[in-house]
Chains A and B, each alone.
Chain A
Amino acid sequence: MSTAAPATARTSSPAPRPKGAARRGSRRTTLLRWAFVAPALLYMAAFFGYPLVRNVLMSFQHYTPKTYFTGEAPFNGLDNWRAVFGDPLFTDALWHTALFTLGSLAGQFTIGLALAVFFSRRFRLSALVRAVLLLPWLVPMVVAAVVWRRILDQEHGVLNAALKTLGLTDGGVPWLSSPSVALTAAVLVNIWIGIPFNMVILYGGLQEIPRDLYEAAALDGASPWRAFRSITLPMLRPVITVVLVLGFMSTVKILDLILALTSGGPADSTQTLGTVTYQLSFLRLDFGQGAVVGNVLILISAVFAVLYLRASRADFEGRK
């Protein structure tokens, strides 16, 4: 080995080397470039690559409390995957996660966009009202959930009291105590939490759209709705993509809100992939099976990340 290494180095280097100094310089440049990239690479490898690989490996291992003491985690093939996919709860959770994510994003985005458009026409106190609307964003998720648990209480909650006064319900809606309503209630709370984020980013995007476009459209006799469809939406597209993808990624892995709001109940009606992986890993301490669900979540996010990268590249090239 020790003799082979220099030999290969010699043979692999291209034979003609008319300007040795320059070559050494360019090699140094390459080295330097790598040196600048190295910290980032190391960081990525340590904080993203390693956990990712570890999580994938873990899903093929019998990973239990014993592993932490002995360091032994025997590989068990597809056992974990079979157990998780064979559990009807997983299918339910997958479905709930999809509904929760779609519902939340649709609500957050629509209301966020409406508010952003509303606030982009400046009026008195608009800055103040906008600031107030940011408050839900500042409230910690668990605190929000605890407050909402009170608001949504079937008998003593403010929401049902309001609905009763309006004559919309007699007995009160069983927001959190009926399996057929609880997921909707969770979506409503999450929409409330997500509106500020959507509004702020979309508002920022709206500021970028040149005002004269609207003036031109108005001169051409376009209605406000037409202007919104033909100017606002297309010009806002890159921002919309960012908002939706970021919203998707934070919503699909939802855990804290659900745990504090319903603990996955009633009758598993609000179990999501996040709560299932929590249950498997931290209550049953079966980290292998927990990793399976975690991997499914990563895979789903990865698919959307790729879609996002494609979309943003298309936008970028479109602009050029």
Chain B
Amino acid sequence: MPSYTAHPARTALAAGASAAVLVLLTGCAPTPEPGTLTVLNSATDTAEHTRNQKFFDRCARQYGLRVEQLSVPADQVSSKALRMASSKSLPDILELDGSELPQFAETGGLRTLEDLGVRTDGFSRSAVSLGSYDGTRYGIARSANSLALYYNPDLLKKAGVRPPRTWDELRATARKLTRASTYGFAFSATPNADGVYQFLPFFWSGGGDEARLDDGKGAGALRLWKRMVDDGTVSKAVVNWNQQDVNDQFLAGRAAMMVNGPWQVPVLEGQKKVDWAVAPLPVPRAGDTAVAPIGGTVMTVPKSDDRGREKDAAKVLGCLNTSANQLDWGEASNNVPTRTAAARRYAEQNPRLAAFAELVGTARSRTGKVGTGWPEVGEALAGAFQSVLTGGSSPENALRRAQRQATAGE
């Protein structure tokens, strides 16, 4: 056997190496660089990332600051932010989806806009509610989106119909538009955020209440969706189409009308094959107001030990939200500015998207009423429309079950 003289040294080496690995793994919160603000957002797309950087640079420069973006896919922002919170390395600006704000606000880890001195006077009420939790403002949205009715003017003209304004007209128009390879209408009914977002304008416009799903008023929307699938004017496959798929169907000429958001505009503008126009979503009866959901991200400032950095972040937020910058950003991102006046200007400059500009001012926040309970409510709603569309239950039964499901945890 070889000599053992080297043991202690080797043992120490092994132990030391192991310890080093553990240290590396546990404590690695980076010390923030002075003068550089960090942002966590979902701008993973190169064009979007660059566009964001341009606006951040524009605002940071005037205060002698720099901004560094950290972008992760949209559905990973909240879990990434939570991990950062546990290692005390949250960014100076955290950009969350509006529907995720309550869960973060509830933790007490976000600075209120009041504290930061960030004002939202002149913002639409829906935009303010998108960034609020329990009546307190935590996040600021510089732009927002909603849903409207896209239609193919050529196909409508050929069928001799105009964009429908009521649910009855929607059904009738869709019937007239349906041809062998073209459905009259398309929407997304996937059991995730996409489908729920698209169901809401129907559910809300029909009088549905997300806090009391089984009050009977939400059943009308389910009935409409189901009837249109039964009519054969909407594909049965909508239960499996996300909003992107719906747009693809529209672009392939397989749907004459669709529900979708302004983020599809670059794709629609990038092709010449299919003409398109936007109208407000139909309402149950003539004269009813359409209640659409407001979507988009809000920028928040997590609490830190460094009030100076928080103030810097607040300054950048203020600058990003001047009328001029909101308007520029809206143009660049195809979203509607959240300042009422800027939104009006936006509608004038983009007559094609005026329907969105109008909607965003009155649209409703998903979390305004149920707050942190939204994920459960959304899941329950998805369960309801999926089971109705696939013939598993009646609208009334589906909503009764949805209400039980949404309140199971309480």
Residues of A near any B CB (own CB < 8 A): 25, 28-29, 31-32, 35-36, 38-39, 42-43, 46, 64-71, 83, 86-87, 149, 153-156, 174, 176-179, 262-268, 279, 282-286
Contacts and interface: CB of A to CB of B under 8 A. Distances in A.
B237 A83 contact: no
Interface in B386-408: 386-387, 389-390, 392, 408
B237 A263 contact: no
Of A39, A42, A65, A87, the most chain B CB neighbours within 10 A belong to A65
B408 A46 contact: no
A264 B237 contact: no
Contact of A266 (B22, B75, B390): B390
Given A65-B104, A285-B375, A31 B11 contact: yes
Of B10, B106, B238, B240, the most chain A CB neighbours within 10 A belong to B240
Contacts of A86: 408
Interface in B160-181: none
B82 A267 contact: no
B82 A155 contact: no
A280 B383 CA distance: 15
Given A31-B11, A69-B109, A268-B386, A154 B78 contact: no
B86 A68 contact: yes
B390 A68 contact: no
A65 B106 contact: yes
A265 B194 CA distance: 13
A28 B15 contact: no
Contacts of B235: 154-155
A71 B86 contact: yes
Interface string B245-270: 00000000010000000000000000
Contacts of A265: 190-191, 239-240, 382, 386
Nearest to A86: B408
Contact of A35 (B7, B21, B190): B7
B315 interface: no
Main secondary structure of the interface of B (DSSP, over half): helix
A34 B379 CA distance: 52
Contact of A284 (B11, B15, B376): B376
A177 B389 CA distance: 9
B341 interface: no
Interface residues of B, number: 46
B14 interface: yes
Interface in B32-85: 75, 78-79, 82-83, 85
Of A25, A179, A262, A266, the most chain B CB neighbours within 10 A belong to A266
Contacts, number: 123
A87 B409 CA distance: 10
Given A32-B11, A87-B408, A263 B191 contact: yes
B237 A177 contact: yes
A66 B106 contact: yes
A268 B191 contact: yes
Nearest to A67: B86
A39 B17 contact: yes
Interface string B1-35: 00010010011001101100110010000000000
B14 A153 contact: no
Contact of B78 (A35, A268, A285): A285
A49 B256 CA distance: 57
A69 B75 CA distance: 20
A149 to B, nearest CB: 7
A266 B15 CA distance: 53
B107 A70 contact: yes
A262 B189 CA distance: 11
Nearest to A270: B191
A63 to B, nearest CB: 11
Contacts of A155: 235, 237
A267 B7 contact: no
B4 A29 contact: yes
Contacts of A35: 7, 10-11, 14-15
A28 B7 contact: yes
7 contacts: A65-B103, A177-B237, A263-B190, A265-B240, A267-B386, A268-B386, A282-B75
